[in-house]
A and B are shown apart, each in its own frame.
Chain A
Amino acid sequence: MSAFYASNLVLVQATLVAILLALSIQVPLRLGVFSLAGVGSYGIGAYVSANLVLREEMGAVPTMLVSGLVAAAVGLVLGVVIYRLAGLYLAMATIAFDLTVGVVALNGGEWTGGPVGLFGVFADLTMGLLFGTVVLVLVLVHLTEVGRLARRITTVREDPELAASMGVNVRAYRLTAFVVSGFLGGLAGCLNTLTRSAVGLQDVSFHLVVVALTTIIVGGALSWRGAVIGAVLFTWLPSVLEVVGEWQEFVYGLIVVLAAIFLPTGLYGLWCSARRRVVERFRPPVRPRRPDEPDVPAATVAPEHEVAAR
């Protein structure tokens, strides 16, 4: 066990980071906000944390908090600017944001290390802290997936106008999506920098958009379990399937296409609907009520007066 753990430490760390990055895309998606800005936040968190550690010699916990908060603040500004955009326009605008972060990183001089990046970012991040952080985030996300909040989030996603009629401040929910996405993305970027002790342009590339989107599309976009499934799958697949190796990108592409066509709710959604079908079998079928059932109050209106009966 411990040998396995030691030899796969990097993969475990990568999985945990991938979960957070996937969540930063998934949380807005659950609110019907097709924002991919979490990847830009990831870049912001990655570079901010590197600077905090290298220049301020900050510890791991404050670095995580500050990185997350900075990315969340940027997310809020971005959200205020573009939260009204719909669907694809929002997606493309946020991709543009992600790539803008990349251009800034490229041109950032000594703050970003330009094309070379920054190295030697060592902080007191322990495996326990990393693990604990991810678990804490998952618990908090889980709380948004049960009960009243879950219902309201679903309504905001499926029918914003109905949500408003149910007393939901849709604008606030959508803005919150940007902030939370920013924080989670920033946190993920920070943890990536701290676990790898380096940051570079690969941490702000379009490729990460693909990775994050792929993770939740295949895992499932409507629950944190989907993000976990996807993150585990895509982090471990290459090491499990040796053959995949050099054809990794091709296999991933194929998986994404198949998921887009056949798995609208991802693997987790597939599991849920399968479970539902089993439960249904043991539930008495819905009996449509017939109009002549006795609990109709009799003799209120004589039906022949129905002028417009259709």
Chain B
Amino acid sequence: MQELVAIASLGSVYLLFALGLSTAWGTIGILNFAHGAIFVSAAYGCYELLEVRQLPVLVLAVVAVLIGAAMSLLMQVLVFDQVRRRASSERAAETRILIGGIGVAMLPIALASHQTKNLAFGLSASGFEASVWTIGGVRVSSVQVATVVCAVGAAAALAWYLRRTRAGLALRSLGVDDQVAALMGIDRRRYAWATMAVAGGLAGLAGVLLTLNLGAISAESGDALLIKAFACVVLGGVGSTLGVVVGCFTLAASEVWVLTQTSGMWVEAVSFGIIFAVLLLRPQGIFGRQEVRRV
């Protein structure tokens, strides 16, 4: 039972993080390698803010969302848009967006590592103490509940938005064929900005929640999370919100299971195994649409 709580909260952190990654990739075609850096930076930003001023944890969450959204938007405007504008072909752009993402991720991480001297940092300065309830022998903390609520809420809202609104339809049409979408008068840049801002905001929220959950994170934790999120997205199927949800909780369950079964540090390899298995056996993912993913 305690494992179920662990799976739910871990899966929810993955979900908050992966939702934005998946949506940006599935609609505007940007696999943002700096998504992990946004996640860390938002948490780090809150940490620095707390050094200056005492703030309640709810405010911190809002700040984290804003930091994440701002960083993501900035990356889109200053890097990805620029690469797209100059690239000769979609394929060339894809590669260079990946590389640009790797580069831009180094900037805030270098800053944070420098300031924290590579030590883990937390948000204890907020004075926030999570309440812990024991229900039938199972311990649940308020942070875990908040994480699950946020993640499931965000996924549901995003799914509703993409399926039921005109703007969502326009966004999805960008993912299917952006040239046709352009002919239909859809302004790709505007949608790209909005998508990236939302994706960054979610990553920022995930950053604060995970930090509260674990007590502290290090500046390097973004990279590992990025690969895990990639595994979740690939497993569920790019562009499918339900897919990401299933992917995240599957990964969380597998990791928790491996953690209880082995004593070693193999848990990190679970996501890599999933990536390989999915790309080989069902490259479109569980819920993904059939697309050209092979050459």
Contacts and interface: CB of A to CB of B under 8 A. Distances in A.
A88 B294 CA distance: 10
A253 B110 contact: yes
A213 B105 CA distance: 14
Given A93-B276, A250-B111, A261-B79, A256 B103 contact: yes
A161 B31 CA distance: 26
Given A106-B265, A249-B109, A99 B227 contact: yes
B106 A250 contact: yes
A86 B295 contact: yes
A96 B295 contact: no
A272 interface: no
Nearest to B104: A257
A168 B88 CA distance: 25
Contacts of B105: 253
A256 B102 contact: yes
A91 B102 CA distance: 13
Counting chain B residues whose Cβ lies within 8 A of the other chain, the interface size class is 35 or more
Contacts of B107: 250, 253-254, 257
B98 interface: yes
A100 B271 CA distance: 9
Interface residues of A, number: 43
A10 interface: no
B293 A85 contact: yes
A226 B294 CA distance: 29
B99 interface: yes
Given A250-B107, A261-B83, A85 B283 contact: yes
Interface string B18-51: 0000000000000100000000000000000000
Given A89-B279, A250-B111, A206 B223 contact: yes
B249 interface: no
A107 interface: yes
Interface stretch (B89-97, B140-148, B174-182): B89-97
Interface of B: 31, 79, 82-83, 86-88, 91-92, 94-100, 102-107, 109-111, 113-114, 223, 227, 230-231, 234, 264-266, 268-269, 271-273, 275-276, 279-280, 283, 292-295
Counting from the closest, the 5 A-B pairs by CB-CB distance are A253-B106, A256-B103, A260-B100, A249-B110, A250-B110
